[in-house]
Amino acid sequence: MNNQRPEELPSLVLAYVGDAVYELAIREFLIGQGLGKVNRLHREAVRYVKAAAQAKALFAMEEKLTEEELAVVRRGRNAKIASLPKNADFMDYRHATALEALIGYLHLQGKQERVQTIVGLALEAIAKGRQAN
């Protein structure tokens, strides 16, 4: 494992790890929902991992974050992003990166229970947003 402390890692490295942890959590959630066909799993996963959904999730949970977590979110949001995915809004992408940085930070800290809580809050916020649409 990495000898560097998570708080010393660049925000985009934290987001890189957080992206993988979040994607895996979403896939496990969807499989747990009984979705068995890979094409359907993929379509549903995209709805949860796209930048706009992650940004909405972050906004919905911000008041439930600690000061330490908010500091990680700020660092992630302000990271210098070299390129933007073709279907992502710039601000949504910055906030999605912030959420992923938070998840990566918590994962590398070994705070798996908190990661599960954050992912649960994200799932809840995204589900609410989907019901409103």
Q: Which residues are catalytic?
A: 19
Is the distance from CB of 119 to CB of 25 less than 8 angstroms? yes
Dig out the tokens for 44 from the structure. Answer: 């549903």
Is the distance from CB of 28 to CB of 41 less than 8 angstroms? no
Among candidate residues 89, 110, 108, the one with its CA nearest the CA of residue 16: 108
Among candidate residues 90, 87, 110, the one with its CA nearest the CA of residue 17: 110
Q: Which residue has the tokens 């908010």?
A: 70
Q: Distance (Å, rounded) from C-alpha 62 to C-alpha 71?
A: 11
Q: For 106-127, give the DSSP string.
A: HHHHT-HHHHHHHHHHHHHHHH
